[in-house]
Amino acid sequence: MYYINNILLLSIFFFSLQTFAGLKKYTTIHLELERTYHVFTSSKFKKNSNLPLVILLHPGGTDAKTMMNYTGMNELAEKENFVCTYPDAFKKYWNDGRDFDGIISQLMQIDDVGYILQMIDEIKKEYGIDHKKIFVTGAASGAMMCYRLACEVPEKIKAIAPVIATMPENLLYKCNPKSSISILTILGIQDPVVPFKGGDVKLDGKMLGRCISAEATINFWLTANNCIKDSVATIKIEDTDKIDGITVTKYVYNHCQNSKTIHYYIMKGGGHAWPGSKPYLPQKSIGFTCYDFHASLEIWNFFKSLH
């Protein structure tokens, strides 16, 4: 069984004091709304040292602290010395492009893109991070928000890594990125929340808008990045956990405009869960979790390769 804690997380209890010491909460005002975010820096951090910034966007209905615990990214940041930030969505849900009236942030058309850009500017001033090394990852609704950022402000972000969500259907119709962007995405074929083949997003029977299929999502970004679609490397990820019942294939498109790249992981048997981590919802709601690799490590290695 592969867990990132084989490398990094065996000492979580010992490390918890260091994590707390490197974590700071900020409150800011954006368009008259109070917004919050957390910033983690490693014990090796020095201001104005031009470190990368990784923005982690939590799933809908959760918050920044959930995303910290879910991904284990702070432990990786301590080892690798990059900065993490975890913004909180308005009322726990991002205005991610679904335009679904049942979600208050989308009904009110909360400007989450503007809020995230403001947060980036504040972190630049406070920490002196490298504005050319800003990366965004997210899970579920947070992954959809990654796509919205890639659609609207790709020039501000080096790469995105959306996990367990495809593009919202309503976002697709409005998406016209001004520049290319590198993408890593991880999707489960048996995801019961965001269907791999597209359609209604739903959790425990509750309707939550619509998304397009995995194939349509990848094809959109291959076209947007002017990638050579026939030039793809297929990699079988080692099935290190025979118990989870999941196998993983990775597809790599390296021949894209401006040296951009797209990495696409398909989890056969995988559900709506961050690979390698303990799920934040019960299995009956989200399906099975893959333990053949850890998403956080794969995402950071992908971001690091783009420096």
What CATH code is carried by the domain that includes residue 146? 3.40.50.1820
Average confidence score pLDDT of the chain? 93
Work out how many domains the chain is built from and give that number: 1
> Can you give the pTM of this predicted structure?
0.93
- When pLDDT is averaged across residues 176-189 and rounded to a whole number, the result is 98
What integer pLDDT is reported at residue 228 of this predicted model? 96
* Lowest-confidence segment of 16-20, 35-39, 241-245 by average pLDDT: 16-20
**DSSP state string for 85-114:** EEEPPGGG----S---TTSHHHHTT--HHH
Tell me the C-alpha distance between 104 and 92, whole Å: 9
Query: What confidence category does residue 307 fall into, taking pLDDT thresholds of 50, 70 and 90?
Result: confident
Q: Are 137 and 162 in contact (CB under 8 A)?
A: yes
What integer pLDDT is reported at residue 96 of this predicted model? 98
Return the higher-pLDDT residue of 13 and 41.
41
Query: What confidence category does residue 118 fall into, taking pLDDT thresholds of 50, 70 and 90?
Result: very high
Query: What does residue 149 show for φ and ψ, rounded to 5 degrees?
Result: -65, -40
Tell me the C-alpha distance between 12 and 264, whole Å: 30
- Helices (H), ranges, 7-46: 12-21
Q: What percent of the chain has pLDDT over 70?
A: 93
Q: For residue 83, list its beta bridge partners.
A: 53
Q: Is the pLDDT of residue 187 over 80?
A: yes
**What is the longest distance spanned by two Cα atoms in the chain?**
51
Query: What confidence category does residue 21 fall into, taking pLDDT thresholds of 50, 70 and 90?
Result: very low
Q: Are 297 and 4 in contact (CB under 8 A)?
A: yes
Q: Is the pLDDT of residue 20 over 50?
A: no
Reported as a single tens digit per residue, the pLDDT across 120-167 is: 999 999 999 999 999 999 999 999 999 999 999 999 999 999 999 999
Query: What does residue 254 show for φ and ψ, rounded to 5 degrees?
Result: -100, -15
Cβ neighbours of residue 234 closer than 8 Å, sequence gap 6 or more: 249, 250, 251, 252
What integer pLDDT is reported at residue 252 of this predicted model? 98
Tell me the C-alpha distance between 265 and 128, whole Å: 33
HSE toward the beta carbon, residue 286, CA cutoff 13 A: 19
Cβ–Cβ contacts within 10 Å for residue 260, how many? 23
Tokens 């490298």 belong to residue: 130
Tell me the C-alpha distance between 225 and 243, whole Å: 38
Q: Is the pLDDT of residue 39 over 50?
A: yes
- When pLDDT is averaged across residues 52-62 and rounded to a whole number, the result is 98
Tell me the C-alpha distance between 234 and 65, whole Å: 35
**DSSP state string for 46-83:** -TTS---EEEEEPPTT--HHHHHHHH-HHHHHHHHT-E
Q: Are 93 and 141 in contact (CB under 8 A)?
A: yes
Q: Are 3 and 19 in contact (CB under 8 A)?
A: no
What's the domain range around 31?
4-305
What integer pLDDT is reported at residue 18 of this predicted model? 37
User: 234, 223, 128, 229: which is closest to 172 by C-alpha?
Assistant: 223
Token pair of 123, please? 């972190």
Paired sense of beta strands 134-139 and 83-87, if any: unpaired
What integer pLDDT is reported at residue 8 of this predicted model? 43
**Cα dist from 58 to 17, 39, 196, whole Å:** 23, 14, 20
* Lowest-confidence segment of 2-16, 81-95, 197-211 by average pLDDT: 2-16
Tell me the C-alpha distance between 214 and 206, whole Å: 21
Reported as a single tens digit per residue, the pLDDT across 60-112 is: 999 999 999 999 999 999 999 999 999 999 999 999 999 999 999 999 999 99
